Amino acid sequence: MIKFLKDGYYGFYTNFYLEVVYLHQKSNNEIHNIITKVTAFDCDKEEYDELDLKFGKLNKEYNFGYKASIKSKVWLDKFLSTFPEGNFIDEGVTIKIGKLQKLKRQFVSCIVNKRLNSILKGCHGNYVFEYFDKEKNNTKFILDDFNLFGKINSELKELKIDLSDIPERTGNVLVTFPNGLVQDTERIEDTDLEIIWSEKMIDKFNGIYVLHRDSEAQKDYEVFPLQDDKIIFTEREYQQIFRLIDIDRNLVLLDGHNCKEFLALSMSISPQLEGQRCFTDNTSPISVGKAPGYSLIGHKLSDVDPIVRKYQSKLKVAKEEQELVYKQYRIGNSELNVSQEREMAMSHLVKLIKENGSRGIWIWDPYIKAEDIIELIIKHHKYDSEVRIMGSKKIYTSGSAISGLSEIESNQTRKEAWFERNKELLSNSSNGFGLNLEFRCAHSSLISSFHDRFLIFPAVGVYNEPKVWSLGISLNQFGQEHHILHQVGFPEYIIKAFDYYWTEFEDEENIVFKTKHDS
Examine the domain organization and report whether 195 and 171 are in the same domain. Answer: no
The C-alpha torsion from 92 through 94 and 95 to 98, rounded to 10°, is: 150
CATH of the domain at 257: 2.60.40
**Per-residue pLDDT at 51:** 94
Range of the domain at 42: 2-178
Examine the domain organization and report whether 362 and 249 are in the same domain. Answer: no
CA dist., res. 319 & res. 439, Å (int): 34
Examine the domain organization and report whether 168 and 205 are in the same domain. Answer: no
Q: Is residue 110 part of a domain?
A: yes
Q: Is residue 300 part of a domain?
A: no
Give the Å distances, CA to CA, from 317 to 141, 144, 415, 478: 16, 11, 44, 22
Give the Å distances, CA to CA, from 433 to 111, 211, 260, 427, 468: 45, 50, 38, 11, 27
Examine the domain organization and report whether 76 and 190 are in the same domain. Answer: no
Q: Is residue 297 part of a domain?
A: no
Number of domains in the chain: 3
Q: Is residue 271 part of a domain?
A: no
Tell me if 195 sits within 8 A of 124, measured CB to CB.
Answer: no
At 286-338, the pLDDT tens digits run: 877 655 443 333 333 233 233 334 344 456 677 788 889 989 998 876 778 88
Q: Is residue 313 part of a domain?
A: no
Examine the domain organization and report whether 60 and 189 are in the same domain. Answer: no
Q: From the first residue on, what is the mean pLDDT of each consecutive set of 10 residues in the chain (519 residues)?
A: 91 94 96 96 77 94 96 89 86 92 89 81 87 88 84 92 87 94 88 91 88 61 91 83 91 84 38 68 78 37 32 62 89 81 94 94 95 95 93 81 61 85 94 93 77 93 90 93 93 93 92 75
**Per-residue pLDDT at 320:** 82
Examine the domain organization and report whether 96 and 236 are in the same domain. Answer: no
CATH of the domain at 341: 3.30.870.10
Examine the domain organization and report whether 241 and 102 are in the same domain. Answer: no
**Per-residue pLDDT at 303:** 31
CA dist., res. 12 & res. 140, Å (int): 38
Examine the domain organization and report whether 159 and 197 are in the same domain. Answer: no
- Point out the domain boundary residue: 151, 178, 205: 178
- Point out the domain boundary residue: 145, 178, 211: 178
Please name every residue paired with 40 in a beta bridge, in sequence order, or none if there are none.
16
**Per-residue pLDDT at 413:** 81
**Per-residue pLDDT at 177:** 95
Of 323, 325, 309, give the one whose Cα is nearest residue 489: 325
**Per-residue pLDDT at 399:** 64
Examine the domain organization and report whether 142 and 222 are in the same domain. Answer: no
The Cα angle at residue 70 between residues 67 and 75, in degrees rounded to 5: 105
At 136-159, the pLDDT tens digits run: 888 988 887 878 988 999 999 999
At 457-503, the pLDDT tens digits run: 999 987 789 999 999 999 999 999 999 999 999 999 999 999 999 99
User: Around Cβ 98, how many Cβ atoms within 10 Å?
Assistant: 21
